[in-house]
Chain A
Amino acid sequence: MTDAQRSNLLHLGTIAVLAAAFFVLPIYHVGNLSRIMVLAVYAMGYNFLLGYTGLLSLGHALFFAAGMYGLGLSMELFDLSTAPALLMGLVTALTVSAVIGFLALRTSGVSFMIVTLMFAQAGYLTILYFGTYTRGDEGFVIQQSARVLFGIDLTSDSGRYFSALVLFSICFLAVAYLVQSPFGRTLIAIRENEERARMLGYNTAAHKLKAVIISGTISGLSGAGYALLFGYAGATFATVQYSIFPLLWVLLGGAGTTIGPLIGVLFMFYLIDLSSSITSAYMLIAGLVLVLLTLFAPQGLAGEIRKRVFKWLP
């Protein structure tokens, strides 16, 4: 088997396992898993930037919230039906990430992190400022009757699970394709050595901007999907914490691996799920995991697997 065949098998196999899980697992875990898949999309969007382009952003919550509010507000205020609202969420995230990317990419390294963090903070405050429409921290609920896509009821267990799976699969395969494509290879070249990539004649600035836009749009799609499937949009999703979560997931799962984000979200979700039954200070676990990761497994779970067992892991 060639490496390409192996990676195809891995991706399709993952999707098949997730599809089968619906029929095997008890209903509580099915609900969790649909949430995990939507959040994994967010993590994949983040991973595209951190893992494949080498840009560490601390402001992805802005893109997540852009998708979420793009969909939520157009349904709430303009009574759009689901499909065009989803498109609105996508377009909003795309626009926001294009603007932020254009501005923030003028900086690099530490400044890039801070600038993205600050833009996200400004975005969060803007959501609070327009509290009349967004209802601020309290957020708003998207009507159950409105959450229907192509005749599928997104509030039923199966409807929700399989639409989450479809969303996940599309992004999963798209990212897997992109990172193997010449475009993705160029991004990896930029990650490894930007100067060299530039000397070889690549327009690194344009590539990085495209990477930010793709990453932001995928994250926004996840935000829109989250609002749609779980029927809620709130300003908490725009806080710094939601910018740090994808960083955590991706680093835990393994930055620069296609499967890493899913592993990271899955692991972290159940870690917090289990620990929050013991203590209310469950973020303590997240902190400990982060510190231990940087100390002992800087490449994340999938990264360690790639290093030790499967060298072909995409």
Chain B
Amino acid sequence: MDFGPHLFLASLEGAVTAAILALTAMGLSIVFGVMRVVNVAHGEFFMLGAVIAWWATSLIGGHPAIGFVMALAVAPLVVGVLAAFADKLILQKINYDPDRTIVATIGLMYIIQQTTLMTFGPDARPVQPPFNTRLPLPWFEYGDSGFAMIWPWGLSITSYKLFVIIAALAILTTLWLVITRSKIGLIMRATQLDSETAQAFGVPVDRVYMWVFGLGAGLAAVGAVLVVPIQQAHYLMGHDPLLLAFITVIIGGLGSLPGTIIAAILIGMSDGIISVFFSPTLAKIIATLVVAMVLVFRPQGLMGRSAQ
């Protein structure tokens, strides 16, 4: 393949990464934005989503699509409810004190991870994608006979990967509409702006926090269900998404939802492109250092307001 089609392919892979990352990071970002807490267990909610997807698809026989739809419905719900109860039982009791919340969620991270290890086991398990046809993609080139459309060998995307991108877009758009247009969104924004005043106006702040935490975890689970037919379900798989989601949220500016989306696209795409062209370890080192430096010299992120 020439450089052009190769780059195109890399950016398509990057777009899939970006789509998953946007969902995961959005969960983290909403939780931080509304509740001002850092949820270190976020990666484990992601992992739980993938594991539940595996359970759902392996329990239900028949066409893989049936199990997949089940997983897409059940996993976020289960994970969200679980997270909401974790919030009620732990985080609410420590009053969302920033440092203690981090410690508690680190604890939660190990509890979820190790419980999964005890029940699900240490193996990586694949999930069948509901559909997986290979779609060849055209490339335009200026050749001897003028401008022509060619079909380079190897330039293709599976229908499932395309579905992931579209699904992520649809979910994020829905989320955007809910937050900006609905009453639920209004309550969330009121709580974010000033929780005490919101409480005074009859907003049940504790319950809002509880379900926002659940929503954040649920978004991670959706991302995981979507990614699990491409990647495999494994009890340690939450580690990388956590780090990437963190980076995304911070680069985008803590608590800024549009910033999170922009950063997810930026990071996902560059991750896809860099890992095609460079040694993955070196790419990761450079990416990690660059992000750290961005934080050091621009702590408020790309779209964030200046630090509090």
Q: Contact residues of A with B, CB < 8 Å?
A: 56, 103-104, 106-111, 113-115, 117-119, 121-122, 125-126, 128-129, 240, 244, 247-248, 251, 279-284, 286-291, 293-295, 298
How many whole Å from A63's CB to the nearest CB in chain B?
Answer: 16
Docked Cα-Cα span, A51 to B281, in Å, equals 35
Known: A103-B296, A106-B297. A287 touches B288 (CB 8 A): no
Specify the main secondary structure of chain B where it touches its partner.
Answer: helix
5 other contacts beyond A56-B99, A111-B250, A294-B104, with CB at 8 A cut-off?
A: A106-B297, A114-B246, A129-B281, A287-B114, A289-B107
Task: Decide if B100 touches A294 in the complex (CB within 8 Å).
Answer: yes
Chain B residues near A281: list those with CB within 8 A: 114-115, 117-118
Say which residue of A106, A110, A122, A287 sits within 8 Å of B107 (CB atoms).
A287
Task: Decide if A129 touches B282 in the complex (CB within 8 Å).
Answer: yes
16 A-B residue pairs with Cβ-Cβ distance under 8 Å, sorted by A, are: A103-B293, A111-B295, A114-B250, A118-B292, A118-B295, A122-B285, A125-B288, A126-B285, A129-B279, A283-B113, A284-B118, A286-B110, A287-B107, A287-B108, A290-B107, A295-B90
Task: Decide if A284 touches B250 in the complex (CB within 8 Å).
Answer: no
Chain A residues near B276: list those with CB within 8 A: none
Q: Contact residues of B with A, CB < 8 Å?
A: 38, 90, 93-94, 98-100, 102-104, 106-115, 117-118, 239, 243, 246-247, 250, 254, 279, 281-282, 284-285, 288-289, 291-293, 295-297, 299, 307
Nearest-CB residue, chain B, relative to A129: B281
Chain B residues near A298: list those with CB within 8 A: 94, 100
Say which residue of A119, A280, A287 sits within 8 Å of B292 (CB atoms).
A119
Chain B residues near A128: list those with CB within 8 A: 281
Chain A residues near B254: list those with CB within 8 A: 110
Docked Cα-Cα span, A170 to B118, in Å, equals 42
Chain B residues near A247: list those with CB within 8 A: 103, 106
Task: Decide if A121 touches B288 in the complex (CB within 8 Å).
Answer: yes
Docked Cα-Cα span, A256 to B283, in Å, equals 39
Docked Cα-Cα span, A219 to B299, in Å, equals 27
Task: Decide if A106 touches B102 in the complex (CB within 8 Å).
Answer: no
Task: Decide if A293 touches B114 in the complex (CB within 8 Å).
Answer: no
Docked Cα-Cα span, A150 to B297, in Å, equals 46
Task: Decide if A284 touches B115 in the complex (CB within 8 Å).
Answer: yes
Chain A residues near B104: list those with CB within 8 A: 290-291, 294-295
Task: Decide if A118 touches B247 in the complex (CB within 8 Å).
Answer: yes
Say which residue of A126, A284, A291 sits within 8 Å of B114 (CB atoms).
A284
Chain A residues near B250: list those with CB within 8 A: 111, 114
Docked Cα-Cα span, A240 to B98, in Å, equals 20
Task: Decide if A288 touches B107 in the complex (CB within 8 Å).
Answer: yes
Docked Cα-Cα span, A298 to B285, in Å, equals 35
How many whole Å from A150's CB to the nearest CB in chain B?
Answer: 39
Task: Decide if B114 touches A283 in the complex (CB within 8 Å).
Answer: yes
Say which residue of B239, B288, B295 sits within 8 Å of A122 (CB atoms).
B288
Chain A residues near B118: list those with CB within 8 A: 279, 281, 284
Chain B residues near A248: list those with CB within 8 A: 106
